[in-house]
């Protein structure tokens, strides 16, 4: 045993993590994905700015878009980042119950966000006459917000898989993720059919409740994560924070500027 290893053992220090461990490969993979995704969003935002600068007939966003509604949606995503931080902190303390509760709140925030986005899109298309083919504003707006919405949907399914895995391993991850996907699609359909933001919120809350209930029903005595094994939760947190940060940029440059 080397002197460094002896010192780490004597003083209770954790050994340095090798960059070749499976855990670090997972983090590296997520960072590479996020870097590539950031370039995709950067290209879309740059295209939006170029088209807007070169079009003298570009409408003023505040006259078309619902700034108050979108501010509420932005607040929801910021809150979801906070709950994700709490979920990660909980499992690092070995608190499985708080991990599951805060994961549920994060998932719920994403589902409500998507329900409100469906309401916003219906209003813009049916009442404002906007569409992806009408003009450059409509094309860039629906592509940008739709691309981000797909990321939120993916995040809801990803976090639901983490919640299910925390409850009952791989089988729980598959079941809970599928339930979350169906519940989210149901929220979008109900919101679009009723043209009501409040119904969208209620539908998201009901769907989120079903996801959490299924996770609880599947709960095993011992979960997949612990204070010393929580890398997957950390990777999910990276994705969650990235999606929230991108939305803040979209909200700033598309809705406010």
Rounded CA-CA distance 181/53 in Å is 38
Report pLDDT for 221.
82
pTM reported for the whole predicted model: 0.88
- Decide: residue 177, CB within 10 A, 0-12 exposed, 13-18 middle, 19+ buried: buried
Quick check: 165 and 92 in contact, CB under 8 A? no
CA distances from residue 6 to 2, 11, 12, 16, 117 in whole angstroms, order as listed: 6, 9, 10, 13, 56
Least Cα distance to 37 among 238, 232, 179, 237 occurs for: 238
Per-block average pLDDT, block size 10, for the chain (257 residues)?
Answer: 46 48 78 95 93 85 85 94 96 93 96 95 87 87 95 96 93 95 95 87 94 92 86 94 96 90
Report pLDDT for 188.
94
Rounded CA-CA distance 68/78 in Å is 15
The phi, psi pair for 256, rounded to 5°, reads -100, -40
Rounded CA-CA distance 241/91 in Å is 18
- The per-residue pLDDT for range 171-216, each reduced to its tens digit, is 999 999 999 999 999 999 999 888 888 998 999 999 999 999 999 9
Domains of the chain: 19-256 (1.20.120.80)
The phi, psi pair for 200, rounded to 5°, reads -60, -45
Report pLDDT for 74.
95
CA distances from residue 254 to 15, 62, 90, 135, 156 in whole angstroms, order as listed: 46, 10, 36, 15, 24
Quick check: 226 and 91 in contact, CB under 8 A? yes
């Amino acid at each position: 045993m080397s002197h460094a290893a002896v010192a780490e053992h004597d003083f209770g220090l954790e050994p340095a993590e090798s960059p070749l461990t499976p855990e670090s490969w997972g983090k590296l993979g997520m960072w590479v994905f996020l870097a590539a995704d950031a370039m995709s969003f950067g290209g879309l935002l740059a295209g939006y700015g170029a088209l807007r600068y070169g079009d003298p007939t570009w409408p003023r966003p505040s006259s078309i878009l619902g700034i108050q509604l979108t501010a509420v949606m932005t607040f929801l995503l910021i809150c979801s980042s906070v709950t994700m931080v709490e979920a990660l902190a909980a499992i690092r303390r070995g608190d499985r119950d708080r991990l599951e509760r805060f994961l549920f709140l994060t998932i719920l925030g994403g589902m409500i966000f998507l329900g409100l986005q469906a309401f916003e899109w219906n209003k813009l298309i049916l009442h404002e006459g906007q569409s992806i083919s009408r003009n450059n504003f409509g094309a860039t707006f629906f592509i940008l917000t739709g691309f981000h919405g797909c990321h939120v949907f993916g995040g809801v399914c990803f976090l639901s898989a983490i919640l299910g895995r925390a409850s009952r391993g791989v089988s729980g991850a598959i079941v809970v993720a599928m339930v979350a996907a169906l519940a989210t699609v149901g929220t979008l359909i109900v919101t679009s059919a009723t043209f009501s933001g409040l119904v969208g919120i209620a539908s998201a809350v009901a769907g989120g409740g079903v996801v959490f209930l299924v996770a609880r029903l599947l709960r095993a005595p011992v979960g997949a994560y612990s204070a010393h094994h929580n890398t997957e939760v950390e990777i999910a947190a990276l994705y969650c924070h990235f999606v929230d940060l991108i939305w803040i940029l979209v909200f700033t440059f598309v809705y406010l500027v």
